[in-house]
């Protein structure tokens, strides 16, 4: 059986989201955006994040879901608390993760970025397993897209300041970036 992903992330479970489209002609990803998400907010586990990205979130399952169940959003991948990786959108496609955004005076970050969600929140530290998986898949992505360098990895909070706060102060940028520079 063939996969709908032309460029799969190794070891990821594939859950194809309809919330994507083609990148502008001739556009190759050159930015990696780190996000966080938890559904319901500050709660972990369960199918809710995948359900949101797959347009099947039940608005009656939690009061918060009634506000968001109609959103058409996705990310290329999600790293769960235990380090498991789910892939929703093929890397060469445009996932709908960044919204209104700008990096180095270039708007519409979805056009040229890859979005990775971490199951988490701004205030709760991320797990060791998440950092390990994030480092692994980041290296893989950088291998496919050499224009994505450590200097071209950013947080949602940096490309949508005032609108977004993730991955937040609980994300250890120094730890993450140092593991990219020092394989071991």
d(CA 41, CA 135) in angstroms, rounded, equals 25
Domains of the chain, start order = 29-45+75-181 (3.40.80.10)
Whether 1 shows a pLDDT value over 50: the answer reads no
- Note if 174 is an active site residue: no
Per residue in 134-148, pLDDT (tens digit) is: 999 999 999 999 999
Whether 46 shows a pLDDT value over 90: the answer reads yes
| pTM score, whole prediction | 0.95
Whether 178 shows a pLDDT value over 60: the answer reads yes
d(CA 90, CA 103) in angstroms, rounded, equals 22
Of 103, 106, 96, 115, the residue nearest 159 (C-alpha):
103
d(CA 97, CA 120) in angstroms, rounded, equals 16
Whether 20 shows a pLDDT value over 70: the answer reads yes
Instruction: Please tell me which residue, 135 or 2, carries the higher pLDDT value.
Output: 135
Mean pLDDT of 85-109: 97
Whether 129 shows a pLDDT value over 90: the answer reads yes
Q: Is the peptide bond before 40 cis (omega within 30 degrees of 0)?
A: yes
Of 108, 136, 123, 117, the residue nearest 21 (C-alpha):
108
Residue 2 is predicted with a pLDDT of 38
Q: Annotated catalytic residue: which of 117, 119, 157, 174?
A: 117
Which residues partner with 20 through β-bridges? 95
What is the DSSP track for 138-167? HHHHHHH-TT--GGGEEEHHHHSTTT---S
Instruction: Please provide the average confidence, as pLDDT, over all residues in the chain.
Output: 94
Residue 182 is predicted with a pLDDT of 72
């Amino acid at each position: 059986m063939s996969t709908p992903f032309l460029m799969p992330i190794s070891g990821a479970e594939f859950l194809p989201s309809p919330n994507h489209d083609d990148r502008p002609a001739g556009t190759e990803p050159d930015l990696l955006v780190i996000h966080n998400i938890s559904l319901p907010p500050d709660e972990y586990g369960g199918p809710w994040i995948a359900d949101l990205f797959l347009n099947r979130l039940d608005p009656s399952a939690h009061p918060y879901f009634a506000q968001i169940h109609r959103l058409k959003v996705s990310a290329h991948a999600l790293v769960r608390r235990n380090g498991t990786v789910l892939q929703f959108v093929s890397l060469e496609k445009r996932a709908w993760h960044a919204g209104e955004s700008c990096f180095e005076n270039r708007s519409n970050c979805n056009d040229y970025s890859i979005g990775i969600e971490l199951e988490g929140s701004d205030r709760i530290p991320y797990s060791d397993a998440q950092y390990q998986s994030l480092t692994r898949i980041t290296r893989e992505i950088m291998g496919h897209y050499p224009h994505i360098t450590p200097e071209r990895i950013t947080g949602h909070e940096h490309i949508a300041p005032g609108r977004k706060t993730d991955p937040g102060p609980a994300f250890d940028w120094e730890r993450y970036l140092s593991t990219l520079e020092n394989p071991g």
